[in-house]
Amino acid sequence: MKTASVQTPCECQGSLEAIVDEAGIVLSGSACVGKGEREVAPATAIDAGKEQFQVGWLCPLCGRNTVRSFCVSALVYA
């Protein structure tokens, strides 16, 4: 299965990341908590399967729900 990584900063400046598959389904979510350490950040896809979809995270650093839009054609799959 091919996967891509989407990243965005939270409003608290934490770094959020989600791994998504070709269908736009989130496989995992995480947040950088400093010096390469990562913490689980629950994430979900909204409108998965469409050209433009959103990913929502629960930031473990500040507790905010952060939603960002992504375009499938801009993702790089490995």
What CA–CA distance (Å, rounded) separates 64 from 47? 21
pLDDT reported for residue 20: 96
Average pLDDT, the chain: 93
pLDDT single digits (tens) 38-66: 999 999 999 998 999 999 999 999 999 99
50 to 24, 33, 42: CA distances (angstroms) = 8, 31, 21
Domain layout of the chain by residue ranges? 3-74
In this prediction the pTM is 0.89
Can you tell me the mean pLDDT for 20-29? 94
Helix (H, G, I), strand (E, B) or coil at 4: strand
For residue 57, the model assigns a pLDDT of 97
